[in-house]
């Protein structure tokens, strides 16, 4: 699989936002995997919302509603 950003760039971004963290060797890969899983879940929720509203295309409203559902589930 081709990565959108090099590992060094991802590590730099993580360290910029959380400088107090001590990163393991493959922490950046775990962050990348977590991001991909989030995108997959967001796409599935948005697809389900579009299907429920009988829409043939996924619109921004479907994606925003899916993001709110995912946020609520992750908090509670």
**pLDDT at 4 (0 to 100):** 64
**pLDDT at 35 (0 to 100):** 87
Mean pLDDT by 10 residues, the chain (76 residues): 72 90 85 89 95 94 94 82
Q: Structure pTM?
A: 0.74
Contact 53, 62 (CB under 8 A): yes
**pLDDT at 73 (0 to 100):** 85
Residue the block writes with tokens 């971004």:
13
- Residue 69, C-beta contacts closer than 8 angstroms, at least 6 positions apart: 45
**pLDDT at 51 (0 to 100):** 95
């Amino acid at each position: 699989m081709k990565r959108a950003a090099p590992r060094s760039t991802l590590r730099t971004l993580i360290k910029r936002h959380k400088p107090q963290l001590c990163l393991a060797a493959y922490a950046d890969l775990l962050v990348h995997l977590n991001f991909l899983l989030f995108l997959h879940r967001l796409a599935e929720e948005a697809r389900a919302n579009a299907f429920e509203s009988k829409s043939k295309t996924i619109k921004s409203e479907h994606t925003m509603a899916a993001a709110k559902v995912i946020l609520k589930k992750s908090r509670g």
